[in-house]
Each structure stands twice: as C-alpha cells, then as structure tokens.
A and B are shown apart, each in its own frame.
Chain A
Amino acid sequence: MDSDKKKKINRRTFLKGAASAAIAGSTAVTAGCKGKGLLGSSEAFALEFKEYFKKHYRLMTPTERQQTVTRLEKLAKLRQDINVNIDTTGPAENVLYGYAFNVTRCEGYMECVKACVKENNLDRKSNTQYIRIFEMEHGQMSPDQGDGKYFHMVPKEGHFYMGVQCFQCENPPCVKACPTKATWKEKDGIVVVDYDWCIGCRYCMAACPYWGRRFNWNQPEIPKEEVTTQQHYLGNRQRVRGMMEKCTFCIQRSRKGKVTACVEACPTGARVFGNLLDPDSEIRFVLENKKVYRLKEDLGTDPKFWYFID
C-alpha cells in the first residue's frame, strides 16, 4: 500500500519533471533553429507546453484538432519562419487506395525517390527515403536478392528494377504491435502514424516484413526553402527526433484527389495509384487485365501494393 502511494507521487512528480524537461528540450531546439537565447520566445514556450499534454489524434474533438493545428502552424512560424498549412482532411466514403508497380517499365531513374523526399519533408541529414529501388537480375523475383545501392547509368543491360515502399497492408502487423495505438489503418486503407503520440519504441519496425518504416534517429533537418508547406497532420508535417514515420500514399495529396508524388514524378509511367473501389479506375484496370503478384503473400498481411508485368 505504501508503495502504491509512492508510485502515485512518483507519477505526478514524474509528469511534472517530464513537462519541464520537455519544455527545456524544445526550447533548446527552438534556440538551435533561431540562434536566439536558451529560453527562446515565451510564446513558443507556451505552445510547446500545450502540445506536450495534447491527446491522441483520434480522441481529439474537431475543435481540439483545430487548436493543435493552429499551434503547430504558429510554432513552424516561430521556429523556422515558415508559413505552413496543416490539413486534417479525413478519409472519403467509398475510397480504398491501392497501388500497382509495373516491373517491365521501371528503368531505375529514382525520380520517384527524389519527389518523395521533397514532398514528404524527409530528413536530408540522414538521407531518409521511403521508396527503395532494387536493381534485379533476370530470374530474380524478390527484392532481397537485388541491389538496393546501385550507382551507375540506368537502365543496365540484363537487369530490371523493383520499387519497394510501405505496402499499406490490409492486415498490418505494425498496427498490432504498437503499444500506444500511435499507428493505425485509416478507412481509406492508409496506415498512418500519430507522430506526437509515438514514443519511439520501434516495435512496429521489428514487426514490418517489408521494411516499410523509418525512424528519426537524429533531429531531422530540411533547408528552409525546401520545406513543402502544404501539409497533413498524419502526413508530411515536420517530425522531430525519436518518432517513427512512413509512406502515407502522400495523404496530403491523395485526400485532395491528387495522385502521389512518386506517381507524378515517374518518367516511365511505371506507377499506378487509385481507388480500388472505383470500377473505372486505372488501378482496377491493372488488377483485372494484368498478371499481378505481391510480396510475401505467405505472411497474410494482404498488401495493397501489386507488381505487374506488361
């Protein structure tokens, strides 16, 4: 009983201590970015304080969501002097996103990777990339046999290319693993992360059979002029160190009816993205008329990402 009491007190003091440490930490970040004094501005301080105690995204009321978005936008302005616009558009009815990759067409230019890094505000310091392109010899079928680090003129004779990213599984092992419910599958099939709720335990990363997740080992850095300012709360808004992140089918674009950045950038038209529930969509055409296959079907993860051959 005595220890119970102690535990309670500990928890309270812990939260207090944690809060002040969080503020100290974030002000240090602020100071680092703006080159100001250790305390930063008192406005940023107050905003950080409120951010620390906010709820899980899925439990927020629309007003609370609006409040956190406003705070985050203000913080971006204060920290980096960037005007960002953070969107919270939810999934639309009768939409389930799917993706197909034409193995015959891809020639390994990696324009998709470049576009993805820019669009999703990926860390330039650690060179984080959601998409990986593997150079494969004929006869190989699985990217783990291919070369993911090629650096030469493409396409190379006798080789073909395979792109890999998060497959947005219908039965995602990562979601099952997360101890804080910080990652989940949205109604339109996209597996998202509430960055601010993630504690950085990396269990989801161990659970993913496709190596689809990336961790922020260091504080991510993006040159101010390269930041994509049209952002989504569950998508490309800026992350801090210690958070998990992943491909979200460019949720900030797809939920506005646009295709993902990788599809838009692909010079060979190897990438197909669309609504699986729309019978007239290109993705449905591919699934109905091409020979398609998926990676590691035996695991039962049911990925919404197919490969096909012309």
Chain B
Amino acid sequence: MKKDMASKGLLSFAKDTLLWNLSGSIGYQIYLCILVCLMLTGVYGYFIQFKLGLSATNMSNIVSWGFYISNFTFLVGVAAAAVMLILPSYVFGDKDLHKVVIIGEVVAVGALVMCMTFVFVDLGRPLQFWHLIPGIGQLNFPSSLLAWDILVLNGYLALNALVPAYIVYCHYQGKEPVGKYYKPFVFISIGWAVAIHMITAFLYQGLPARPFWNNPLLGPRFLASAFAAGPAIISLVLHIVNSTTDYKIDNKIFNKLRIIIVSAAVINLLMLFSEIFKEFYFPTHHSQSAMYLFFGLEGHDSLVPWIWTAISINLLGTLILAFNPFKERQIFLLPALVMLIVGIWLEKGIGLIVPGLVPSPMGEIISYSPSNVELFITLGVVGLGMFVVTVLLKPALIIEKRYEDRHLTD
C-alpha cells in the first residue's frame, strides 16, 4: 500500500486533484456553478470597461482610485494574516493551529490572487502591463513604493503557494516532508507577511500630498486591522470546512483564533481612537478629509453612513468576541465575525481611499460611489478568489485527512 503511494508522481497528483475538485455533492456542484457565474459577471464587466476605458467607472481626476484599490488594500491584509497561523504553528510548535495552518495559507493565496486582479483591472492600459516586468520592462525600483509592492506581493504569493504545495505533495506520496527544504521559507514568509502590509501602507503613507494618508500610524494600524479581519475570515472558512467536509476542526482552534482576533481588534480600535482624537481635538486644514469622511463637507456626505456603520459594527463585533457570551457554542460567534470583517472592510477600504483623495489638493469636494461596472468586476474578482481557495483547499484537505488517518492506524 505504502509503496504504491510513493510511486505516485506529479501526473497522478494532478489527475487526482482535478477529480476531487469536480466530484462532490449536488450542493457543491451548485456552489461551483455560482462561482463560475460570478466570474462571468466579472468578465462581462471587464469587457465593458475594456471597450470604454476607465470612464466606465465612477472614478475621476479627483477620486482617481476607487473601489478596486479599496478592496485591494483590504485583501492585502487578509493575505498577511496567514502569518497569525504560521507563526504559532511552525515557530511555537502549536499542534492545534498546525492542523489548520494550510487553510490559512490557502486563504492567503486566494486573497493575493484577488489583490493582483484588483490592481490589474484598475490599470488604464492593462495591455502595457509588461512594462513592469524587470528585464523586458522598466521597474522603478527602489524609488517607487508601487514597484516594491509588486515585488513583495508576488514573492509572498510564491512562498504561500510553494510551501504548502510541497508539504501536501509529500503527504500525497505518503512521505514526511523534509524540514530543511521548506522550513527556511516558512521563516522568510513570516517576515514577508509583515512586509507586504507595511509596504502597502507605505504606498499611501509616503505621499505628503495627501495629509489623510501621510500618517505614521497607518502601517501599524494596517497590521492590527489585518490581524483581526484576516483570522476572522479564516475562522469563517474553518466553520465552512467543519460543517461541509469530514475534516473536523476542534473547538480549541476556534477559541485560539478568537483570542488572536480580539487582541488585534482591540489594538486596532485604540489606534483608530488615537487618529480620531488627532483629527478632531484641534481640527486643522489637514483634518478636512476626516471631516468629509465622518460628517460630510458641503453636502457631500455619501461616506458618512458607511463609516458610522463600520465603527459601530467593528465595536460590537469586538465586544461580542471578547466576552464570548455563548461559551462553547462557537457557531453563535459567526455574526460577530461577519460584523468585524465588514466593519474593517468598510473602514479600511473605501473609508481610507476616498477621503485620502477628497478634498482634492485644489480643495474640490465630490462624492464617489462605485459604478455598476465596478461592482460587476468586483463580484467577478471575489468569485475568482473563492474559486481559487476552493480548488486548492478541497484536494489539500482530502490528502491531509488521508495522511492523518494513515498515521493514526500506523
């Protein structure tokens, strides 16, 4: 039996993963169909945008970055959050979290695919994309923070795809993965996770032209909000895995994640409070953006309801998770997780990007909300991300489960 396993090569690995992905219950098939429909919606949206140019969006010379870049910023955080599982499981040898670390890594890969797609659909001339590739193009490194971001995001994608791929492939063959082949990369990826989010923050933080972003707290706050929202998303995925597959997740794991989420969320709220204090205790000319975000300026107040919703559900979610009134019934914490995720998404996405650009440097104030094309494309990208997570996770969990069972019987 074991010998048979070891002789299985890449070809049968590919064949098996494909088979596992296509087979499943009716519910699973419907779910896949929904994802495909979402992606097709995105393709349709992008087709229109490609034909009309970015004028198909509601962006303008004033709000020159919109919904795409907002989502990109949020998702970089989700990708970085995998480190909150990688660090305890590989470095501190936490057995519980080690069991789910692969799920964290797969979520990171999905988030990164979405990040890159969001940046790509935001480009005015996507076909000239190759101008960025070193060698055939011209990458403005190290001067441009965007060049840094492109490099670190691709590096992180490689790390988070290759390490789990190697481990899963070894397990598929029934072998124990060799530590020295992948451990160094695990350690690199821990530092790298912090780097992707700090550098994404520096992208904004490094612009003196935009006082709302030009704030040294932005980077640390990005990390804190990421380490709350990211593990919250991973928790949701774990709940789904727990209820739909035979890969069972222990309550202990949910509890550990809950503690990570609460700690990060509290730090995030503290920093948010610190920012709000600075903007409103003695409002200066530079507080205009914050005024626009929280109260509206000159009748432009489209963001106001969103930011107050964001802060309320952020606070409420954090409190519920912290006091955990349902004790061992983890399932009741789901709404709190969703609240926290949506709160951070609103506040760090559109609540960060749009006010950074309004008022314009010449004092103009306008409102922005995404156009239908932007919404279609965003749906498509989200569908793509979920698809990537699904097709990577399904075979990985089957292999892990078999490997585990075999170990237990040995």
Contacts and interface: CB of A to CB of B under 8 A. Distances in A.
Interface in B1-52: 10, 50, 52
Interface string B138-152: 111001111100100
Nearest to A218: B55
B361 A179 contact: no
On chain A, which size bracket covers the interface? 35 or more
A145 to B, nearest CB: 6
A144 B131 CA distance: 36
A206 B357 contact: yes
B124 A3 contact: no
Contacts, number: 151
Interface string B328-359: 00000000000000000000000000001101
Nearest to A20: B127
Contacts of A145: 363
Contacts of A15: 130
Given A173-B209, A201-B146, A216-B124, A144 B133 contact: no
A15 B130 CA distance: 8
A97 B205 CA distance: 31
B368 to A, nearest CB: 13
A134 interface: yes
Given A199-B123, A242-B54, A177 B146 contact: yes
B64 A205 contact: yes
Interface stretch (B78-86, B158-166, B228-236, B402-410): B158-166
B139 A180 contact: yes
Interface in A185-212: 196-203, 205-211
A137 to B, nearest CB: 14
A2 interface: yes
A201 B123 contact: yes
Interface string A125-144: 01000001010000000111
A179 B140 CA distance: 5
A180 B138 contact: yes
A228 to B, nearest CB: 22
Contacts of A211: 61, 360-362
Given A173-B207, A173-B209, A242-B53, A197 B140 contact: no
Contacts of A52: 127
A42 to B, nearest CB: 20
A261 interface: no
B132 A180 contact: yes
A258 B67 CA distance: 44
A77 interface: no
Contact of B131 (A21, A173, A180): A180
Interface of B: 10, 50, 52-55, 57, 59-61, 64-65, 119, 122-133, 137-140, 143-147, 150, 158, 161-162, 165, 203-204, 207-210, 356-357, 359-364
6 contacts: A148-B364, A177-B145, A202-B65, A216-B53, A217-B55, A243-B124
Interface of A: 2-3, 11, 14-15, 18, 21-22, 25, 52, 56, 59, 126, 132, 134, 142-146, 148, 164, 173, 176-182, 196-203, 205-211, 214-219, 241-244, 299-300
Given A216-B124, A217-B60, 16 more contacts: A21-B127, A22-B127, A144-B361, A145-B363, A164-B362, A179-B140, A180-B139, A181-B140, A197-B128, A197-B131, A202-B65, A203-B146, A206-B207, A208-B361, A215-B54, A217-B59
